[in-house]
Amino acid sequence: MFLLIGSCLLGLILVGRMLQLREMLLSQNLGVFDVLRLFVYLSPFFMLQLTPIACMLSVFLTFLRMAADRELTALKASGVSLYQLLPAPFIFCTLCTLFSLYISLFGVAWGMEQFKLSLLEFARTKTKLSLQAGVFNQEFPGLTIYAQQVDLNSGDIRFVFVQDKTSKSFTTTVVAPEGTVTTDPDKEQIKVVFKNGRLFRRVDETLEVLRFRNYAVRLPLGNMLTSMGYSSMSLKEMSFQRLLEVAGDEGVQQKLLQTGRIDSNKLRAVPTEIQKRLALPLACLVLGLFSVPIASVFRALKQQHGLVLALGVFLVYYSLLTVAESMGETQPLIASFGVWVPNVLFGGVGLLFLRQAVRERVPAGILWVLQLMHRRVAA
């Protein structure tokens, strides 16, 4: 059940992620194996997020089914308490925790680094600038291209307008009746040739106007990553050892800031990222054991309702974790402790519910919710 739930959730998230990258993927001649390669590299990051919920759902639905089929009642009648049933889910949750911890310490950084390198490789070798007619195309940072007519097969474009703001000292605008777009993978660039047009260059308050027969613009393919937000280093690309090194060495921090590979906000979030890498794997154990008494208390629920309940519980957990993580850039010390709050909270509530479930007592608030649900079903 764990593999089924994990694979379904992972597939849905990966498809959603690829839809976000559809503009870049459509502009490249990628094969099936290239896309699968990107899927594999993205998998560790999403598996770190999904393993806790897959673990919790597996344990919760298993015990919910046992409770619904009166198997838990039969076991209690034969002298087997809920405490005696805990070793099996405890071992399973511990294995999930170790698996998630390995992904957190090693897999996430490897996957994100390889994903970024693959995007850079594809951008340099397989990109074809696919302009849309009548649309201001901004695939390259600082460059806006408009063409009224586009022939994707031949690369010919007509009635072209280009604004180039890549230089901080001046802005260049090109207007031409026709042009041609070609891709040169060997030189890792896209070449746009304009014909019989005019060039307007503004420097401060001065405007220069030039006529030309042929004017070529060469665009480095690697610059496409900048417009997609992959030019700077992300904390997810750093291994756990690298995060510890950055957090403890001010010289490394200054070097990263000077080279522009990371900004000050991300640098302040490094301690929070370290704690998150440790807290999220432990969620497998906390949420897995939390689901055992919850399934016993809500044994009257159908599986589809139990699934909604479990997803709601995980949503609350992840919301608390997200709030703590968002504080990392402003209040890193508080956020470093805050990422552990969901584990402590759900662990404490789980122990309370476990004690109530062993005594076959239902908390008053939960009992009121169950009675309300029974009334709605009866109505």
> Looking at the predicted structure, is the pLDDT value of residue 321 above 90?
no
Q: Measuring CA to CA, how many Å separate 162 from each of 146, 201, 252?
A: 6, 12, 41
Token representation of residue 118:
């693959």
348 and 249, same structural domain? yes
- Band (281; pLDDT cuts 50, 70, 90): very high
Instruction: Give the range of the structural domain holding residue 37, as residue numbers without chain letter.
Output: 2-123+234-378
- Band (169; pLDDT cuts 50, 70, 90): confident
Q: Indicate the SS3 state at residue 300.
A: coil
Give 361's contacts (C-beta < 8 A, 6+ positions apart): none
Q: Indicate the SS3 state at residue 137.
A: strand
Q: What would you report as the CA-atom Rg of the chain, rounded to the nearest whole angstrom?
A: 28
pLDDT in tens, 130-142: 667 788 877 666 7
Token representation of residue 144:
């806006």
243 and 180, same structural domain? no
Name the amino acid, one letter, at 256: L
Which pLDDT does position 127 carry in this prediction? Answer: 57
pLDDT in tens, 285-318: 999 888 888 877 766 556 666 677 777 888 888 8
Could you say which of 180, 207, 227 is where a domain stops? Answer: 227
Q: Indicate the SS3 state at residue 212.
A: strand
Could you say which of 227, 255, 277 is where a domain stops? Answer: 227
167 and 36, same structural domain? no
Q: What mean pLDDT do residues 146-156 have?
A: 79
Q: What mean pLDDT do residues 369-373 have?
A: 57
- Say how far apart CA 317 and CA 294 lie, in whole Å: 15
Query: Bigger pLDDT: 331 or 48?
Result: 48
240 and 219, same structural domain? no
> Looking at the predicted structure, is the pLDDT value of residue 120 above 80?
no
Sign of CA dihedral 41, 44, 49, 50: positive
Could you say which of 185, 200, 227 is where a domain stops? Answer: 227
Q: What mean pLDDT do residues 214-232 have?
A: 63
Q: What mean pLDDT do residues 99-124 have?
A: 82
Give 363's contacts (C-beta < 8 A, 6+ positions apart): 297, 353, 356
Q: Counting Cβ atoms within 10 Å, is residue 51 exposed (0-12), middle (13-18) or buried (19+)?
A: buried
240 and 153, same structural domain? no
